[in-house]
Amino acid sequence: QEGILGSVKGLFHRDYEEKQAVSQMDLSVRGGEFVGLIGPNGAGKTTLVKMLTGIIAPTSGEISVLGYYPNKLENDFKRQYAVVMGQKSQLFFELTAEDTLHLFRQIYGLSDKEYRYNRDYFVELFGVKELMDVQVRTLSLGERMKMELIVALLHNPKILFLDEPTIGLDAVAGRQVRKFLKEVNEEKGTTILLTSHYMEDIKSLCSRCVVVNHGSKIYDGATEELFDRYQKNKRITLTF
Ligand code: ATP
């Protein structure tokens, strides 16, 4: 399956000046997986996502995503992944939702057929049809996150990176976003790597999770087992 649907592999580390933000991270994600990345504030989760998506380069080591080196930002790579940073919008607030989708169609260079198919699929899935004429600026946080996700998924990426996608959302919007992400992973086979502070996100979506603390991996395995151990207070101490 590896390389067909999406994979991440690498052993790498990243410093910010003197400080080691991610140390000797050995990470491997198979195509079709939905992996959760958790850890306390400052653990290195965002730094990890930034390296995996080419925003920053590792200080040493090598990362391969779908067989590409992310920080080279080759066009072929750009067409196959997407990233949504919960605290940083990719949307233009002056545009309507419909015009936003048109704009990203051009950015991705989608054919008429591809565009219509994908737009209709995701607009229907996320239930945002009635928002198409609305200016992005006036959308609620939950509606805006749905648009962020549609924009990210419009070109059918093989792998989707999500950094805190439910941050700031109310319970209903959070639940909806989780439901859509589950469906995208199951129906489209999209590989998803998600960071979150919310246990609910990880428990309900990710069969596997990676716990990071002080830039190092302290757990990598079944989510259920992690929560079992946590409840029994064995071996792993989590402070959130
Ligand atoms: P949070 O959950 O708060 O977003 P995180 O797990 O995503 O935290 P990172 O943002 O990756 O953690 O930060 C890891 C470490 O690197 C922290 O100690 C942080 O202070 C440091 N750091 C992050 N970005 C920079 C930067 N641009 N310059 C210097 N240090 C940084």
Mean pLDDT is lowest, of 6-10, 73-77, 206-210, for: 6-10
Which of 13, 37, 38, 47 gets mutated to test ligand 1 (max ligand atoms within 8 A of its CB)?
Answer: 47
Residue type, 215: G
Closest CA to 165 of 83, 47, 48: 83
Nearest residue (by CA) to ligand 1, atom 31, is: 16
Query: What does the pLDDT look like over 63-107, one tens digit per residue?
Result: 888 888 888 877 777 788 899 988 888 899 999 999 999 999 999
3-state secondary structure of 211: strand
ipTM for this prediction:
0.93
For ligand 1, is residue 87 a contact (CB within 6 Å)? no
Quote the mean pLDDT of the chain.
Answer: 87
pLDDT exceeds cutoff 60 at 166: yes
Nearest residue (by CA) to ligand 1, atom 14, is: 44
Q: What tokens does 150 get? A: 């549609």
Which residues on adjacent β-strands are paired with residue 157?
none
Residues 6+ apart with CB under 8 A from 50: 56
> How far is ligand 1, taken at its centre, from the CA of residue 177, in Å?
25
For ligand 1, is residue 44 a contact (CB within 6 Å)? yes
pTM: 0.89
Residues 6+ apart with CB under 8 A from 76: 68
